[in-house]
Chains A and B, each alone.
Chain A
Amino acid sequence: MSGEAVAGRGPGRAGRPPAAIGRLQRLLALVPYVTSRSATGLAETAAAFGITEAELVDDLNLLWCVELRSPDPYCPIDLSYEGGEITVREADPVARPLRLAPDEASALLVALRLLADLPGPQDRSALRRAIAKLEAAAGEAAAPSAQVAVHMDGRAPADVQARVADALRRRRRVHLTYYVPGRDEATERDADPMRLLVVEGRSYLEAWCRRAEAVRLFRLDRVLGVTVLDVPAQVPEGAEPVDVDSGPLYRPAPGDVRVVLELSAAGRWVSEYYPCEEVAELGEGRLRVVLRTPDTGWVRRLALRLGEDGRVAEPGSLAREVAQAAAAALAQYS
């Protein structure tokens, strides 16, 4: 292969610099953060930068100690933090923040444009203005953001989207007719909307379900009907929002059934569509995957759909269920 270098810079993910560099970025932002505000306390500044007060004091000392030795010794930064209040008296060379890097400008612009495109309750006018101002401030650094495009409509019907957004905006309770595909069943329930999540390419209403008396996620493309009720939403104080930032939305629970599927090359898509605990190559493009699920109904449906492209290897009871369901369906064609 003619590749000259692996396209990366050392370990770690893109945009996660080594400690010394990360700290330099923070120090360069710290002085303008203080000078652009009329009053800044140690505690609030530490919180804004996500560091402890002790770390902040160490940063301030480091800034204060900067010394250039030539042609004449000179200390360009003068500041104090007496009484918990930070004062910068002199820091002319670094009084303004550094320009946005292309990665920074692109990350923010791509996200703002995504928000502006998504159906939902967000403030579109504010988004348009923020995008224009950020593009102007970023200048050339904004250019690569045009090479990233995101299309996420959440795959939800427009009328459902609109009504859910309306309920969120007005903080109203909704009545949902909700399709549960694992059981091929329509269910009825009232729910108090909390947020709209768009995760893994799909829209979900996060709401306090009054039937389950728990926080539930409702996939909008499975909402068969939604009515905004003339009742204020009442989300109990202890209702914990779903953590969308530390892993996949559906995480296996201790009681879940372990299912092993063997897939042909034509059935490989299963490993891309469902969260698999293990994926092993079996040669010739075949795969062996392990899934965990609280409800094997949808796996039975999946196996019927796959036909000879997928086989339930474990558990044996589920494999027999699939064979029986297939035989029952076939009987109707004879």
Chain B
Amino acid sequence: MAVLRDGAMSRQKTERLLSLVVCLLSARRYLTAWQIRDAVPGYPSSPEAFKRMFERDKDELRELGIPLETGPAGPEEEVGYRIPRQAYELPEIVLEPDEAAVLGLAARVWRQAELAGAAAGGLMKLRAAGVEAEESTQPGIEPRLPAGEAAFGPLWRAVRDRRPVTFPYQAPGRPGPQARNLEPWGVVNRHGRWYVVGFDRDRGQERVFRLSRITGPVMFIGPAGSVTVPEGTDVRESVRAWDGAPPPVRTAALRVRQGAGFGLRRRAVSDRPDSGHPGWDRVDAPFTDCGWYAGYIASFGADVVVLGPPDLREAVIGRLKGAAG
């Protein structure tokens, strides 16, 4: 058989699949595979080759979300196929112009990210249903979900299909990645970063993982539908609890050079000239994590001096010594 060019091959396949969809949508009862072969042009005559191609075509249609139903067909009660209209068709949807405008805006949110194709495909179907989603004329807001790391696609499919996964994970402060086994409950974006939340089978607990720290392929380790998300789970809340800072607990006493330290002063509880040190201000500011705050203060170099508490003062001196080499 002559090798067909990719384009011709692809066109033949599109024609065959389209005819198959039309055939199964038109069918009033279930059709056997052989009845389908007789009706749809483009299938090979060899039974084995036909079977293989028909199997692939069924998978393709299901992948597209086309509801392919099976039931008894013919006098021998063989396996038969059809596509029920009601399950296939998008229900009636009518959007007002302002609703269609925000839909156009929404479809752009994923433009850099993995579900860009899905958003565009959804918009195409809604336009096909008569929705006029034009470019927005509203005062502009353009949020963008970030291009997720390579792990986003497989993790989204695992969440969608409720399948457990395994992946190598580089936790901070560990020398190398470790394999983790997770029953994923949801994917969350918080402040522009992607996380997956779920039940960690090894730890026996709910855990949150940052996608950028997944260092290798994500693999399924169980069938679809084998993950149960506990009743009342709020994945957004899980990530907030994991990521959220505890309330401020202590106050740093600082001496800040006048005209400097704007960033620091924004969160200050008090800010006044230091009478004993001309050219300097006395600033009090809340902080929680001593190590993190010490780094922040060190970044201002000679413009900020810590008066207390002592552990913060020592931590800043430690940072500066490290930077001095």
Contact = CB atoms under 8 A, between A and B. Distances in A.
Given A14-B157, A151-B189, A98 B302 contact: no
Given A151-B236, A151-B240, A332 B19 contact: no
A34 to B, nearest CB: 9
Nearest to B238: A149
Contacts of A250: none
Given A184-B300, A304-B319, A326-B301, A30 B128 contact: yes
Contact of B125 (A104, A110, A304): A104
A330 B191 CA distance: 35
A2 B322 contact: no
A229 interface: no
B115 A101 contact: no
B143 to A, nearest CB: 4
Interface in B159-205: 159-160, 163, 165-166, 172-176, 179, 185-193
A314 B127 CA distance: 54
Contacts of A43: none
Contacts of B173: 265-266, 285
Interface in A103-141: 103-108, 110-112, 114-115, 118, 120-123, 125-127, 129-130, 133-134, 136-137, 139, 141
Interface in B185-229: 185-193, 212, 217-221, 229
Interface in A64-78: 65-71, 76-77
Interface stretch (B45-53, B71-79, B86-94, B281-289): B86-94
A317 interface: no
B96 A129 contact: yes
A181 B160 contact: no
Contacts, number: 449
B101 to A, nearest CB: 7
Contact of B219 (A7, A23, A118): A7
A134 B142 contact: no
A323 interface: yes
B55 interface: no
A196 interface: yes
B201 to A, nearest CB: 12
A325 interface: yes
Contacts of A21: 17, 60, 63-64
A126 B118 CA distance: 22
Interface string A168-185: 110100000001010011
Given A66-B15, A68-B26, A112 B103 contact: yes
Given A77-B22, A265-B173, A130 B90 contact: no
A238 interface: no
Nearest to A63: B18
A115 B323 contact: no
Nearest to A93: B25
A54 B179 CA distance: 51
A309 interface: yes
B305 A333 contact: yes
B175 A265 contact: yes
A68 B193 CA distance: 50
A111 B156 CA distance: 15
Contacts of B26: 68, 76, 92-93
A48 B120 CA distance: 11
B119 A29 contact: no
Interface residues of A, number: 140
B299 A302 contact: yes
Nearest to B315: A307
A63 B212 CA distance: 45
Interface stretch (B105-113, B245-253, B268-276): B105-113
B71 to A, nearest CB: 19
A309 B192 CA distance: 25
B41 interface: yes
Contacts of A303: 323
B5 interface: no
B258 to A, nearest CB: 12
A326 B41 contact: no
Interface of B: 10-11, 13-15, 17-19, 21-23, 25-26, 35, 38-41, 60, 63-67, 87-96, 98-103, 105-107, 109-112, 114-119, 121-130, 138-146, 152-160, 163, 165-166, 172-176, 179, 185-193, 212, 217-221, 229, 234-236, 239-240, 260-263, 266, 295-296, 298-303, 305, 313, 317-325
9 contacts: A3-B219, A6-B218, A16-B117, A32-B130, A152-B192, A155-B191, A184-B263, A303-B323, A304-B323
